[in-house]
Amino acid sequence: MSQIGFYGLGSMGTGMALNLQKHLQDTKQPNLRYSNRTLSKGDCLKAARGIEEPDYISLVKSCDIIFTMISNDKVLNELVESALSTGSISGKIFVDTSTVHPNTVARASEKLTKAGASFVASPVFGASAVAAAGKLIFAMAGPKDTTEKLKPLVLNVMGRSIIDLGEEVSKSSMLKIAGNVMVIGLMELISEVQVFAEKVGLGTATMEGMIADMFGPVAESYSKRLTTGAYAPPHGTAPGFAVSLAIKDAKHAISIANDHDMRLNVSEAALSHMLNARAYAGESLDSSSMYGTVRHESGLPFWTENSRQSS
């Protein structure tokens, strides 16, 4: 049996790793080995009988398949170099589930493949609550025999579906970035609509009801991130998807669009609003915190009665 490893225990990775560990236990496979920059974030995995490794290099040495969920391109580049420094990695499988630039995953694949390993780029769609529920959507690209081997570890374990992008790893990252254009744009639009509803006297509850009836549960869930105050959660409470990660994703999308002679005007507006929100209220905000900026620009307080009240 293959030994599975997981690195990166942020708000997304923790839920994914816990679901993976449960699956391994249920199917009587070796317990998940895990590591993280801050090891204490793995205490819940340890309680679930996961096995702690002191660092990423130790994890690579002890595992055959290594999943990663990290914050940005720089970290992925560092992990690739760390893996290459461990000695022989021939036959190992590296699966990155993060959102990074297509060029970054292409370089990672080239380096790891040259060393005899396999690399699969499989960024995921869904926020932390979706990860905890095991309902993520995986956009997967890599060698066919490798992706087939991974499917039993993903379907009905960490994810509800897999979008097969073939063997060109950059395509999965490109699809994820395209999806983020939709998500970020929708959050920007709903923020404007909800502020409009409040300013003209319709009220956010009325508008949210219309959004649910007209556009369905996905749009309604984005609206609820605003109306419940989740766009600015209490200090010490992790956001559903951190604003700094959304800023990184928006910058990737805008940069790629510019390289192809087009503008993403809505994404640019959303990026500006997220940057202003972070400057006003700090890092511990959700990606939907553009709502606070739109409120502030419209003469309303950045905060609502349901959000926290300070930066």
pLDDT tens for each residue of 180-217: 999 999 999 999 999 999 999 999 999 999 999 999 99
The structure's pTM equals 0.91
In a domain, 23, yes or no: yes
Q: Is the domain of 178 the same as that of 235? A: yes
Q: Write down which residue in 110, 139, 167 finishes a domain.
A: 167
Q: Is the domain of 187 the same as that of 210? A: yes
pLDDT tens-digit readout, 45-85? 999 999 999 999 999 999 999 999 999 999 999 999 999 99
pLDDT category at 240 given cuts 50, 70, 90 is confident
At residue 250, the pLDDT reads: 96
Sign of CA pseudo-dihedral 248, 179, 189, 288? negative
Q: Write down which residue in 167, 199, 218 finishes a domain.
A: 167
Cα distances (Å, whole numbers) of residue 116 to 7, 65, 88, 306: 21, 13, 8, 52
What is d(CA 61, CA 256) in angstroms, rounded to the nearest whole number? 35
Q: Is the domain of 86 the same as that of 215? A: no
What is d(CA 290, CA 241) in angstroms, rounded to the nearest whole number? 13
Q: Is the domain of 147 the same as that of 182? A: no
Q: Is the domain of 131 the same as that of 280? A: no
Q: Number of folded domains in the chain? A: 2
Marked catalytic residue, from 92, 171, 176, 248: 176
In a domain, 289, yes or no: yes
Examine the residue annotation and report whether 176 is marked as an active-site residue of this protein: yes
| Domain with 191 in it | 173-297
- List own/partner pairs for 146-152 with CB under 8 A and 24 or more apart: 146/93, 146/118, 146/120, 147/120, 149/93, 150/65, 150/93, 150/95, 150/120, 150/122
pLDDT category at 238 given cuts 50, 70, 90 is confident
At residue 46, the pLDDT reads: 97
Q: What is the distance between the terminal CA atoms of the chain, rounded to a whole angstrom?
A: 49
Q: Is the domain of 133 the same as that of 254? A: no
User: What's the distance, CA 168 to chain centroid?
Assistant: 21
> Domain containing 232 — which CATH number?
1.10.1040.10
pLDDT tens-digit readout, 12-49? 999 999 999 999 999 999 999 999 999 999 999 999 99
